[in-house]
Amino acid sequence: MLYKKNVLLLGLLLVMAAADAGAQRYKVGLIDLMLLKRQKVGAITLTRQLGADGVEIDLGGLGNRPTFDNKLLVDSLRQEFINKAKEEKVEIFSLAMTGYYAQSFCNRTEYIQSIQDCITSMQLMNVKVAFLPLGVQCDLRKNPEVRDSVVARLKVAGAMAEKAGVVIGIETALTASEEVRLLKEINSPGIKIYFNFSNPLKEGRDLYKELTILGKDRICMIHCTNKDSVWLQNDAQIDMVKVKKVLDKMKWSGWLVIERSRDASKPKDVKGNYGANTAYLKKIFQSGKK
């Protein structure tokens, strides 16, 4: 009798563990910059209030400085972020180098210090992924002449990341097939793709096919949103249930990060926009409901 009870208990525990693992296969994240709280501890509290699992913290502005205006390298300020994340049970899952949206990663004289400061911050905060957008000036489709510089610098950054045991996720304007070729050229496990749904969608490419072409191991994280227009649940360009099926089939798991998809009539309604999109992604990816 005792044996049967133990077997039943073990079975129940296994089922519960499997359910919990399934629920955590996809996590939903927000971005402090888009929450209008760039490098502010309040972004962590707001993330918890909106129901997301974690937040991406920006490293601050870049401008003409050799590196970011990065508060996370100040011990006391960094500890505030760590303590608040623990208190709110919110994960800081990524650090973002958004200064490179406007600044040129491929042409700046100094870029190594900014990458090293990012990696140092990651190690101090136990964060495994950073976001590096190639930005306007290093758009490899519009400016193919900068490709050699981009590849050479990403090889350096990749070696630095690999040595530190972290990953730098890049966002490009390339097609998935072109990104596969780019990654092969860089040839570093320290560089992966931080995929953004809006890039293929705005050019009329097949979002689901692009995910499949890149495959599980080349995508470190996903900006799981489109351009600002409507909330995700009202976006006719994205079949989110189909997205989940594609990612399930790929056996991909990780962070789905909400960047935009704000209601164009209320772009500054932070709680309304990000609360709605968070709830929708959790409904699709974590509850099993459609």
DSSP class of residue 174? S
Which CATH number is 192's domain given? 3.20.20.150
> Is 156 a domain residue?
yes
89 in any annotated domain? yes
Q: Is residue 148 part of a domain?
A: yes
Q: Looking at the domain assignment, is residue 12 inside a domain?
A: no
pLDDT, tens only, 92-104? 999 999 999 999 9
CB 50 within 8 A of CB 275: yes
* pLDDT over 70 (residue 4): no
- Dist CA 14 CA 12 (whole Å): 5
The alpha helices in the chain, defined as continuous H runs, are 2-23, 42-49, 75-88, 112-125, 147-164, 176-186, 198-202, 207-214, 240-250, 270-285
Per-residue confidence (pLDDT) for residue 18, from 0 to 100: 40
Q: Looking at the 3D structure of the chain, how many domains does it have? A: 1
Q: Is the dihedral of CA 99, 105, 110, 113 positive or negative?
A: positive
Nearest alpha carbon to residue 131 among 146, 113, 119: 119
Mean pLDDT, residues 180-192 taken together: 98
In-domain check, residue 99: yes
Higher pLDDT, 29 or 110: 29
Provide the token pair at 22. Answer: 């399934």
Residue 163 lies in a domain: yes
The tokens of 46 are what?
Answer: 């707001």
Model confidence pLDDT, tens digit, residues 35-64 = 999 999 999 999 999 999 999 999 999 988
pTM tops 0.75, yes or no: yes
Kindly report the average pLDDT of the chain as a whole number.
Answer: 92
Amino acid present at 181: R
Residue 76, amino acid: S
pLDDT of residue 15: 36
- Domain assignment of residue 5, yes or no: no
Does residue 22 fall inside a structural domain? no
Q: Which residues constitute the domain of residue 182? A: 27-285
